[in-house]
Chain A
């Protein structure tokens, strides 16, 4: 019961602030609402017994990527943006298409909710979380892990090169 209430509260928070993210004119407000969405998702991760990912979500997403967004917003002068039209010309069509997509997705999930007849996992299956992730990451997924680190390096160099003044 507690978990269900928790879920609904957090889900509502996430969806509402996600809607704010895409509707606010001022990008700084968008960032704040995106942070709220990410934070409620992190709390949902905790409920899903993914504490490590919740922590990573907070440190990396909220403490890293979103700070980066804020930085960029402050670098590019955005006074004009808040006075311009926030949506582009094809927004009716695009919105309609996206809503159709939403309807489809929800319908599929709702009608197929009983299909995965997999057993619900016992509450302690994923514990201790950090150790499990570590072991799996460094035993089964070592190569992807290394590739990811190379990807990050490339992205870092790329970002520095692009942002640098010529």
Chain B
């Protein structure tokens, strides 16, 4: 499929064409992403709230839908404080680095087969490399604050990032082995060619990637750098206002980035679930159904709102949203070319959202690891298992290529061997027994 932006090509001056089109794509990705990130924060607050028998933001806009914008404005208007004794140049640089590292990686993510900013031969290496630069934002931010808690948080964070990057790298290697290319688009195409998402043949690698991704983004249960009960707010304790919002943006963008990497590598990127099963073709009407449901939801909740005049704007806004969703749904249903064009992006985003929901769910569920436990988990468990998985994945590939065994079957042999190793490793740690000594009078 051709890039939709190529339609514009004839209208652009020839000299600028190689610059303008990518710039336009970058602009779309950047703006879209900023919006997505802002609403991930909203979604996190809402989902956590509902998990915790609360309502979450409800005041700004209907169901708090304008809350992210209000928060952004508030942070922009706040006073910009630089602590005394801070290295102001680095203090300024660090959050910028953090955001830059998170956003640059998206240039290489194939959102759909017709929508990728650029596809390079070493795509995956670049994404990993660039996203690993985010560590500078953390270390430098913690160091330049000239305060103890940020410095401790930064050091913890850096150690954590560096160690989990190893496990992450090994998890990525098995996807590379299967696809035989570093190009992000090539990896997805390999999954289409094999007719199976790599998560189904390399579940252990996917799991390791997931856990390492949580650790890389400093999320619960690995959120030690920001452990509120110990280190106040970690490396960004001294940050406020716009700089803080940059960190915030960077952190959530990094979440989206690792989710995108995971989706591209293991969940078939832009393909819809079970693409090889023709009888599921009707799934392509999923966007229609989704937007229709959104419209329905808006209308139902508009009905439930109080009739009082001060609620009028909220009701109108909700109705407007519902109307927009309805128009989109009808539009998609009526214009099959449009529906086909958005399939890739739609499924990609749906999968990313599923992944992000996992992050949020974890945050609502788990306590926090202690630092030494985190390190032990990383070095004594994750990395050995990841190495074993890479090895056995190679063995499986040899069985498949040289002996002509079934593709999935030979890889599953490798996976089972890996699980055996994991069990052996886990057996070394004692398992807890939740019992009391005894009861009675």
A: which residues have CB within 8 A of B?
Answer: 26, 28-29, 32, 35, 51-52, 54-56, 58-59, 62-64, 67, 70-71, 74, 127-130
Cβ contacts under 8 Å, B47 to chain A: none
Besides A59-B125, A59-B132, A63-B135, 14 other CB < 8 A contacts? Answer: A28-B144, A29-B89, A54-B122, A54-B126, A55-B122, A63-B133, A64-B162, A70-B139, A70-B143, A74-B143, A127-B121, A129-B121, A129-B122, A130-B122
Question: Does B26 belong to the interface (CB within 8 Å)?
Answer: no
CB distance from A3 to the nearest CB of B (A): 13
Asked if residues A74 and B151 are in contact (CB atoms below 8 Å), the reply is yes
Cβ contacts under 8 Å, A52 to chain B: 121-122, 125
- Residue in A closest to B139 when the chains form the complex, CB atoms: A70
For B120, B129, B144, which residue has the most chain A Cβ atoms within 10 angstroms? B129
CB distance from B66 to the nearest CB of A (A): 38
Cβ contacts under 8 Å, A58 to chain B: 126, 129-130, 132-133
Asked if residues A67 and B121 are in contact (CB atoms below 8 Å), the reply is no
Question: Does B391 belong to the interface (CB within 8 Å)?
Answer: no
CB distance from A53 to the nearest CB of B (A): 9
Asked if residues B122 and A35 are in contact (CB atoms below 8 Å), the reply is no
Question: Does B422 belong to the interface (CB within 8 Å)?
Answer: no
Flag B127-164 by CB within 8 Å of A: 1 or 0 each.
01110110110011001100000010011001000100
For A29, A32, A63, A64, which residue has the most chain B Cβ atoms within 10 angstroms? A63
Asked if residues A55 and B158 are in contact (CB atoms below 8 Å), the reply is no
Question: Does B208 belong to the interface (CB within 8 Å)?
Answer: no
State the 4 A-B residue pairs at the shortest beta-carbon distance, nearest first. A55-B125, A58-B129, A63-B132, A59-B129
Cβ contacts under 8 Å, A29 to chain B: 89-90
Asked if residues B126 and A55 are in contact (CB atoms below 8 Å), the reply is yes
- Residue in A closest to B101 when the chains form the complex, CB atoms: A63
Cβ contacts under 8 Å, A74 to chain B: 139, 143, 151, 154-155
Secondary structure type dominating chain A contacts: helix
Question: Does B231 belong to the interface (CB within 8 Å)?
Answer: no
CA of A129 to CA of B162, assembled, Å: 27
Q: Which of B78-101 contact A (CB under 8 A)?
A: 87, 89-90, 93
CB distance from A51 to the nearest CB of B (A): 5
Cβ contacts under 8 Å, A63 to chain B: 129, 132-133, 135, 165
Question: Does B116 belong to the interface (CB within 8 Å)?
Answer: no
CA of A128 to CA of B121, assembled, Å: 7
Given contacts A56-B125, A59-B128, A59-B129, A51 and B140 within 8 Å (CB-CB): no
Question: Does B182 belong to the interface (CB within 8 Å)?
Answer: yes
CA of A70 to CA of B136, assembled, Å: 9
CA of A63 to CA of B161, assembled, Å: 11
Asked if residues A51 and B122 are in contact (CB atoms below 8 Å), the reply is yes
Cβ contacts under 8 Å, B162 to chain A: 64, 67
CB distance from A60 to the nearest CB of B (A): 9
Asked if residues A130 and B121 are in contact (CB atoms below 8 Å), the reply is yes
Cβ contacts under 8 Å, A35 to chain B: 136
Cβ contacts under 8 Å, B120 to chain A: 51
CA of A59 to CA of B130, assembled, Å: 7
Selected from A28, A51, A62, A64, the residue in CB contact (under 8 A) with B121 is A51
Asked if residues B90 and A32 are in contact (CB atoms below 8 Å), the reply is yes
CA of A63 to CA of B132, assembled, Å: 6
